[in-house]
Amino acid sequence: MFAYNTIKYTFSNSRITPYGGLLIPGQMLKAVDFDTKIDKYSSPSKEYKNSDVLKAMLIGILCGNADFESIHETDDDPEFFCNAFHMRHIPSEPTMRQRMDEIGASMRGALRQINVDLFKKFGVEPSALENGYIPIDIDVSPFLDEKCNKEGISRTYKKKDGYAPIFAYIGTEGYLIACELREGKQHCQKGTPNFLVEVLKLARQITDKPLLIRLDSGNDSADNIGIFMEECFRGDRVHFIIKRNIRKENPREWLDKVGGVCTNVKSPREGKKEYIGQTFRDVSYNVPDASSKSGHSRKTVGIRTIYDITERACDHDGQYYISPKIDCDMYSVNVDFSDEDIIELYHKHGEMEQYHSEIKTDLCAEQFPSGKFETNELVLELIQLAYNLLRMIGQASLRISDIPMKRPVNRRRLRTVVERIIMTPGVVTKHARQVRLDLGRSNPWRNAASQISRIFQAAK
């Protein structure tokens, strides 16, 4: 093959875009009638509709830049982005900042409904566990942002400044069903009961399968248990695994209590014993009661509690401790699984840390762009929408056989979707009143981008 000695860079009037894959989320938003649902709210500007402002922010998030400055990526060819997202105009950075501040948290409900509409419109059913239950994993994840004066920034439990938003993921794919921005100092349980009620309502719009909600020890609260138990009493199949916060309880006392009656005792190595079993305890919570002066009454139910107590007399190297070390993990449940299965199911709850990581790193969304709390609330709702758009595109790509991947996977990471599909380069041309995108022959992902676009077009 002939080898060239030099390579020269030249510029021309050819419209070559590195964002060819944006056509896919653009057509998905059009399919759920994004503009109509957003523009029904009054707008202070006749030139820039609310939908144009939110889509301009979404463009940056979908490309992995959750900040206002990312809008300058559209400066060289605004017509392409307007065509891709069916926009009239692309606002400037100052205009977008101002309009985002004006919108604030007023469209939170509309954006959440659009998020649900994506699932229903394209027939996306969150995948169940092997036991048939749809998992919903809920947890707080600190978004650190130090040395700034943004509204709501305060000390998180990580001992650093930032926000402490809460997230709810549904299905084994990790779709984001709901999120809520919180101040960094806010305790993870504060406001969580209302959040859980909203999550259950949204989940029931997506699936009618039995739900399995998993919460860590920070949300070990009778209020949360009461919400789930009342749903069960009403006939809805809502089940939970909540790790108990043993607080001031002594692990040694628990070992003494169950050690003599536990029938499932394992000894994986010398100097280590593991006790697994179940017990029951009473939990009391408030329920609405119109006949009571306080408007509520107390209700007590028996809750199954799984324990996993580990006693270590020595470490892995055989070095004995002065006194044995005791670890006590306990789980409150209302589901009829074996003790080992419940422990294993809770351990899988940790997979949501990967979803947090994708939001923070793949979308570069750990540091919010505005100094106003309500504006950042709006940004987080758009992040949720962009997250699910990318997740749906990634899952659709798994159905395509000729993608150049090393090994089969069950979930496509957001960064892969952004780099391989959203950032699909192409030559933009106009012919016969149509905009065409020529993907050429050198991009090994060109067939995937084309087929995914047809998948979502066919889903209409």
- The verdict on residue 202 lying in a domain is no
Examine the domain organization and report whether 301 and 377 are in the same domain. no
Phi-psi region of 152 (alpha: psi -120 to 50; beta: other; left: phi over 0): left
Residues 240 and 330 in one domain: yes
- The domain boundary, picked from 282, 309, 336, lies at 336
Task: Report whether 408 contacts 431 (CB < 8 A).
Answer: no
Asked whether residue 195 is assigned to any structural domain, the reply reads no
- Residue whose entry in the numeric block shows the structure tokens 């029904």: 40
Q: What pLDDT, on a 0 to 100 scale, did the predictor assign at position 457?
A: 79
Question: Do residues 326 and 394 share a domain?
Answer: no
Q: Quick one: 330 and 239 in the same domain? A: yes
| 176 belongs to a structural domain | no
Residues of the chain with pLDDT below 70 are 1-5, 44-46, 406, 458-460
Domain annotation covers residue 278: yes
Give me the pLDDT at residue 460, please: 57
**Are 450 and 384 within one domain?**
yes
Is the domain of 240 the same as that of 328?
yes
Residue 347 in any domain: the answer is no
| Backbone phi, psi, residue 213, to 5° | -90, 130
The answer to whether 330 touches 346, Cβ cutoff 8 Å, is: no
Q: Would you state the pLDDT for residue 220?
A: 94
Task: Tell me the C-alpha distance between 206 and 298, whole Å.
Answer: 32
Q: Please tell me the predicted confidence (pLDDT) of residue 192.
A: 96
In terms of domains, do 255 and 305 share one?
Answer: yes
Q: What is the pLDDT of residue 44?
A: 65
Based on the fold, state whether residues 388 and 328 are members of the same structural domain. no
pLDDT of residue 394: 93
Angstrom distance (rounded) from CA 398 to CA 404:
11
Q: State the pLDDT at residue 458.
A: 63
How is residue 338 written in tokens? 């074996």
**Domain-located, residue 332:** yes
Note whether 240 and 216 are within 8 A (CB). Answer: no
Q: What phi, psi does 101 have (nearest 5°)?
A: -65, -40
What per-residue confidence (pLDDT) applies to 178?
A: 96
Domain of residue 284, residue span: 235-336
Q: How many distinct structural domains can be found in the chain? A: 2
Looking at 336, 362, 394, the residue that finishes a domain is: 336
155 assigned to some structural domain: no
Pair 62, 51: CB distance under 8 Å: no
> What is the reported pLDDT for 99?
92
Same domain, 380 and 332: no
Q: Both 250 and 316 in a single domain?
A: yes
The per-residue pLDDT for 101 is 93
Assess if residue 300 is contained within a domain: yes
